[in-house]
Amino acid sequence: MANGVHDGHRQRMRERIRKNGVASLEMHEILEYLLYSFIPRKDTNVIAHELLQKFGSLRMIMDSKPERLCEVSGMTWNASLFLTSLSGVFRKYLDEVNGQRRRLKDRSEAKKYMGSSFYGLRDEQICIVAVDVHDQILASDVLAVGTGDEVQLSVRAVVDFALMHKAHGVLLAHNHPGGIVTPSSQDVFLTRKLYDTLNEVGVKLLDHFIFCGENCYSFDEQRVLDKFRGNNNFNERHI
């Protein structure tokens, strides 16, 4: 009898989504629905409420580790793995959406395009975009992935990427997971080295973004690249 009750409720939920879209649901209902395929014989409404009570939001649930979600009564490993993989799926989706806008016409567009690469990441990584003289995207890639808040980048890898794609300019971005958006002295030193090395081969470093949550630091917006351009003896302490 209990299974019949659950089946009827789930069918009504699916009908609501068919008519009004998933965005019409409350947050706990979205979670409840996402868990249907992975927890077929339990009341996922109760599990959804407990997940939100423990983690606070859908975003925090997806950004957690599967082991943490399994601490909630009724959660299975497959369900936990599914929920924590969704942020990666969304990043791929945003990559495709943003990739259709082939021209990065301004800084805001560049931030939006590159920022999608860091959605939900727990580890630091470095991304690069090559553009032509009209700011059309030639290629993009992840150059390095670290563990936690550390990642190493080879200047040679940046130069090779730019030359391989015959870039007029490149945009660089990395994230500070769980930290602050302000660049470290190492970030500034590396950016200056990249600026000078790329300039020697006729490629412009157009910007270097640092993302931390919803915040973004732009070396160009803060006029740090102008300081590189105008002062051969520039030191990171001048910021």
C-beta of residue 183 within 8 angstroms of C-beta of residue 221: no
Q: What is residue 233's predicted lDDT score, i.e. its pLDDT?
A: 44
The set of residues, in sequence order, having a beta carbon less than 8 Å from that of 167 and lying 6+ positions away, is 130, 131, 132, 138, 139, 161, 203
pLDDT tens string 158-170? 999 999 999 999 9
- Using 50, 70 and 90 to split pLDDT, how confident is the model at 234? very low
Rounded (10°) angle between helices 2-20 and 27-34: 120
Query: Could you tell me the residue ranges of all domains in the chain?
Result: 2-91, 102-238
Predicted confidence (pLDDT) at residue 145 exceeds the cutoff of 90: no
Predicted confidence (pLDDT) at residue 211 exceeds the cutoff of 90: yes
**Superfamily of domain 102-238, CATH level 4:** Cytidine Deaminase, domain 2 (3.40.140.10)
- Using 50, 70 and 90 to split pLDDT, how confident is the model at 194? very high
- Using 50, 70 and 90 to split pLDDT, how confident is the model at 116? confident
Coil/strand/helix, residue 220 = coil
C-beta of residue 146 within 8 angstroms of C-beta of residue 152: yes
pLDDT tens string 21-68? 888 889 999 999 999 999 988 899 999 999 999 999 998 899 889 999
C-beta of residue 170 within 8 angstroms of C-beta of residue 204: yes
* Cα angle for residues 133, 139, 143 (degrees, 5° grid): 120
Q: What is residue 237's predicted lDDT score, i.e. its pLDDT?
A: 37
Predicted confidence (pLDDT) at residue 148 exceeds the cutoff of 70: no
